[in-house]
């Protein structure tokens, strides 16, 4: 399991760190607490991308 810091995840997603902090605070995304630090699983970041992916139109 690969854990990402919020700045690392924000960079991969093209978002502001504050957006991810808000999502964590409002529990919109799954996160892991390591002491006081917040980490996101790489799979969670991948799921965010997959959930936002719009398939092409057929025909």
Residue ranges per domain, the chain?
3-52
Sequence-distant (6+) residues with CB within 8 A of 3 are: 32, 34, 39, 40, 41, 42
Question: What is the tens place of the pLDDT at every residue in 3-45?
Answer: 999 999 999 999 999 999 999 999 999 999 999 999 999 999 9
**Strand residue runs (E) in 5-48:** 32-34, 37-41
* pTM of the complete model: 0.85
Q: Does the pLDDT at position 59 exceed 80?
A: no
Residues 6 or more apart whose CB falls under 8 angstroms from that of 17 comprise 6, 7, 10
């Amino acid at each position: 399991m690969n854990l990402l810091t919020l700045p690392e995840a924000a960079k991969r997603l093209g978002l502001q760190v504050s957006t991810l902090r808000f999502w964590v605070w409002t529990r919109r995304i799954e996160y892991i607490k390591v002491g006081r630090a917040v980490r996101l699983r790489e799979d969670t970041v991948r799921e965010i991308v997959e959930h936002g992916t719009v398939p092409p139109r057929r025909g």
